[in-house]
Structure formats: C-alpha cells, structure tokens
Amino acid sequence: MTDGNSVVQNIRRQDNKIILDLVGDIDLHRSVDLRASLLETIQDKPATMIINMTKVGFMDSSGLATLVEAMQLSRRYGGVLILFGINTRVKSVFEISRLDKIFQICQTESEALAE
C-alpha cells in the first residue's frame, strides 16, 4: 500500500528565506521522501529554512531523525532551521525526545518569518 503523495506539498521563497509546507503523516515510509526534499533544499544553502508543520498529523522517530539531520546540516554552513504549526500530538513526540529544547519552534508562520 502507498499513498503516492509527496510530503512536501509546496516550496515557497520569501526574501532569503525558504518555506516548505509539509502534509500528511511522516512515518518510516514517508520520511524517505521528506529527507530527499530537505537535502535537495539544503544544497542551495538557504539562510533560513522554515518548515510548516500545520498539516502534519503524525510523526515518528524517523521524521524526527530527518529533521535533526537537516538542522545539523544547516548549522554547518550557518543556516537556521525553524519549525512552526506543530500540533499537540506531534509536539509530544518532540517533548518525549527532549528535542523541543533543541529545535527553534514557533507557533505561526509570521512568527517564524520574524525570527
């Protein structure tokens, strides 16, 4: 079984910031697609990469691992990775893993853009 949909629904640019709109569950199956999209985006070394999690209903440790890798790769060239719109269910996964203290997390897109 496969849903065939890409995790990254849309990529937007605003000034020197890039915004990725994610959609759907991010599990072992779909995190492969997310990783490919993030690595491709990071190749351009955006100063700020903002990830819209508003439409992500579920995320497991493979999704967390993908985001940790992207954050670490961004930091290597001085870039910043910001997450916003994380629902309660996904937020608890960050909290249990104590990664809520590591990632820069905003409530809204405007808040993330203002960082």
Partner 1 sequence: MEKTNRENHVEIRILAHPANLCIVRSAAQKAAEQCGLEQKSVDAITLALEEALANTIRHGYGGPCNKPIIVTLNRLNADDDHQAGLEILIRDFGRQIDPAKIKGRDLDDVRPGGLGVHLIYSSMDEVEYSCPSEGGMQLRLVKYLNSSPPDQTNAKTEKTRE
Token pair recorded at residue 9: 């629904």
Give the nearer residue to partner 1 in terms of CB position, either 36 or 113.
36
Q: Are 64 and 36 in contact (CB under 8 A)?
A: no
Figure out which of the listed residues 66, 82, 85, 112 binds partner 1, where binding follows CB under 8 A: 66
Cα angle, residue 107 at apex, residues 115 and 74 outer, rounded to 5°: 50
Decide: is 60 part of the binding site for partner 1 (CB under 8 A): yes
39 touches partner 1 (CB under 8 A): no
Residue 78, both tokens: 């001085």
Site string for partner 1, 77-106 (x = CB under 8 A): ------------x--xx-xxxxx--x----
